[in-house]
Amino acid sequence: MTPDEILQSLDEAQRRAAMEFGAPVLIRAGAGSGKTRTVTSRIAYGIATGELDARHCLAVTFTTRAAGELRSRLGAMGVPPVAARTFHSAALRQLRFFWPQV
């Protein structure tokens, strides 16, 4: 997808969050408001514009189901594989990298 195609389905607030790479962005909203769409669009847009490298991108979420949903949506957008993990699995993977005996 092109950067314009990625942003097409977002409202103005979501579009601003997806396009901001100069500082961290907090996406806080209620259920069903498009948080996952905003996060996936932010990752896809960053990769499409060269702001992000998929090999160095880690999307962290609370549940295994949400991590799977992120991977699925990014794959459907044609984004190269991105690491999407829960907080616990991301931390455990890093611990095992630095301390293999864990």
Top pLDDT among 15 and 28 is at 15
Whether pLDDT at 101 is above 90: no
Kindly state which CATH superfamily the domain 3-98 is placed in: P-loop containing nucleotide triphosphate hydrolases (3.40.50.300)
Whether pLDDT at 25 is above 90: no
Average pLDDT over residues 30-46: 93
Q: 15 near 7, Cβ under 8 Å?
A: yes
Angle at CA of residue 65, ends 62 and 71, nearest 5°: 95
* pLDDT in the model for residue 31: 86
Tell me the pTM: 0.87
